[in-house]
Copies of this chain bind each other. A is one copy, B any other.
Amino acid sequence: MATPSEELAEMDRVIHEPARLALTTALLSCDGADFLFLQKLIGLTKGNLSSHLNKLQTAGIVAITKSGAGRTARTWVALTDEGRAATARHWKRLDQLKHLAENGLPDQAPYEE
Chain A residues with a Cβ under 8 A of chain B: 3-9, 11, 13, 16, 18-19, 21-22, 25-26, 28-30, 32-34, 36-44, 74, 76, 91, 94, 97-98, 100-105, 108-111
Number of copies of this chain in the oligomer?
2
Chain B residues near A18: list those with CB within 8 A.
8, 11, 13, 16
Cβ of B41 and Cβ of A105 under 8 Å apart? Answer: yes
Chain B residues near A103: list those with CB within 8 A.
29
User: Known contacts A37-B110, A110-B37, A111-B34; is A104 also within 8 Å of B29 by CB?
Assistant: yes
Chain B residues near A37: list those with CB within 8 A.
109-111
Chain B residues near A104: list those with CB within 8 A.
29-30
